[in-house]
Every structure is written in C-alpha cells, then in structure tokens.
Amino acid sequence: MEEKCCCERKKMRSEEEYKYLVNRLNRIEGQIRGIRNMVEKDAYCTDIIMQVSAAGAALNSLNKELLARHIKTCVENDVREGKEESIDELVRVIEKLMR
C-alpha cells in the first residue's frame, strides 16, 4: 500500500505503520495509567516525577518518528508536486515542537 497524503489532511498508513503507532500509543497509555496509580497509592514524589519524565520521553520519541515519516512521505510528495506550502507548514510545526 502506497503512503500518501490527500487533500482532506488525512494520511493513508500501511497496516504495519498503523500497528506500530497504535502499539507505541498503547504503551504510553499504560505508562499514564501507571502514573495515576502511583498518585492514588501515595507514591513518593520523585518516583512519580521520574515516571512522568519517562512518559514525556516516550511521547517525544513518538513525535520524532511521526515527524520523520511525515517528511519522508507527505512533505516529499508535496514538494515534488510543487506544493511548497508544505515546507512552510513543516517549519511552523518544528517551531511549535521546539518551544
């Protein structure tokens, strides 16, 4: 299945990519539930902080993966088709990520 973007701002993903992303999100969701459980069980503050940091790192890692795939598919395809506005959009996204 070819990966490409369409005008409705959707992304057609291969089954392999879909499963990979959902699996990563399920693990992150599990981390968040674990943090809530720690709070409910009065875990020590720094233990919770470390788990929150790990969850944040997992989200950042997922963001990097999504950004790389976006550049290699959507942006590349748009540039080849002369849609230079994709580069401007990419710059705005990167600026937001770097705040």
Mean pLDDT, rounded, of the chain: 92
pLDDT at 37: 98
In this prediction, the residues of the chain whose per-residue pLDDT falls under 50 are 1-2, 6
pLDDT at 12: 87
pLDDT at 88: 95
Q: Does pTM surpass 0.85?
A: no
CB proximity list for 90: less than 8 A, separation 6 or greater: 70, 71, 75
Q: 3-state secondary structure string, 7-70?
A: CCCCEECCHHHHHHHHHHHHHHHHHHHHHHHHHHCCCCHHHHHHHHHHHHHHHHHHHHHHHHHH
